[in-house]
Structure 1
Amino acid sequence: MQCNYSREGSTRGFTLIELMITVAIVAIIAAVALPSYNDYLRRSKLTEAYNTLATYRASMEQYYQDNRSYGAGGSCGVALPTGLKYFTVSCGPAAASTSALQAYVASAKGIAGSQVNGFTFTINEKNDRATTAVPSGWGTAPANCWILRKGGGCQ
């Protein structure tokens, strides 16, 4: 009986080197992609503040049309939005208001411990939008718009 050993059958599969190279490539791609993905997730959560402040401003303008002034107190006459996941909203009289109850500033501040901690956005009766605080690594907060991404970009 003669045995024929052929190397044909033994060349199937991957070598350890080939697998290590594949793992290294996947690790490099993940190292590049994950920070970008995390920034994308953070930016998606900022829309809660933008939408809430815009809606709150519309409610404030309706209140002003009905009462010819903005309300006093911490809610400026209109109930503050509740049940937000990432931001808390507050309202108060504008610091440079020329007459009582004729100006306000509403702000949305990122909740501590969330991905949006460190962000603060404001809007007033003139629809002036401002980013008054951003987390470290996001550059300088633009004074005349709501920041959209690191390094600038406004809404």
Structure 2
Amino acid sequence: MRKAWAGFTLIELLIAIVVVAILMSLAVPAYQDYVRRGRINAALAQLSQTRVSLEQYYADNRSYAASGTTCGATPSTVDYFTLACTASGSTGYTLGATGTTAMAGYTYSLNQSNSKSTTQYKGSTVSKSCWLIKGDEC
């Protein structure tokens, strides 16, 4: 009577390793892109919220500026982005989000006319009149 061998051959193990490596080479970049888009959305949501606060400040004070170039409302902090507001007189402002650390190379802005722009995306200089989140088209 013959005894049946149980287990895997070396070839079968190597094929399994190659299949896992191919799947990982596809999954990891897709996951990193997903995480990046989530970080961008958090910063853009804060810019939009600060815009609402500035409009409320303007309705109460007839000026976006608290004094000089200091805005009447300041953006909250967001991970991976530095948010800033610059008032231009009493009737204008520019909100900006600049990526830091893992998000360096991303720059977004918003002004009193609700004009959105992207000046840097994935480390490249761009000139788009929208907020780029996924891909290069608005």
For normalisation by structure 2, the TM-score amounts to: 0.89
The equivalent of 1:151 in structure 2 is 136
The equivalent residue for 1:47 is 41
Alignment RMSD = 1.8
Query: After the TM superposition, which residues 87-126 of structure 1 pair with which residues of structure 2 at under 5 Å, given as runs?
Result: 87-94=81-88, 100-111=89-100, 113-114=101-102, 116-126=103-113
Q: For structure 1, which runs of at least 5 residues remain unmatched after alignment?
A: 95-99
Q: How far did residue 74 of structure 1 move?
A: 4.8
Structure 2 counterpart of 1:40, which letter? Y
Q: Deviations over 1:22-63 (max 9, x none)?
A: 110110111122111111111111011111000000000001
How far apart are residue 75 of structure 1 and its match? Answer: 3.7
TM-score, structure 1 length as denominator? Answer: 0.80
Moved over 6 A (4+): none
Structure of larger gyration radius: 1
**Structure 2 unaligned spans of 5+:** none
The aligned residue for residue 116 of structure 2 is 129
- % same residue: 38
Structure 2 contact 119–125 (Cα < 8 Å) conserved? no
Number of aligned residues: 137
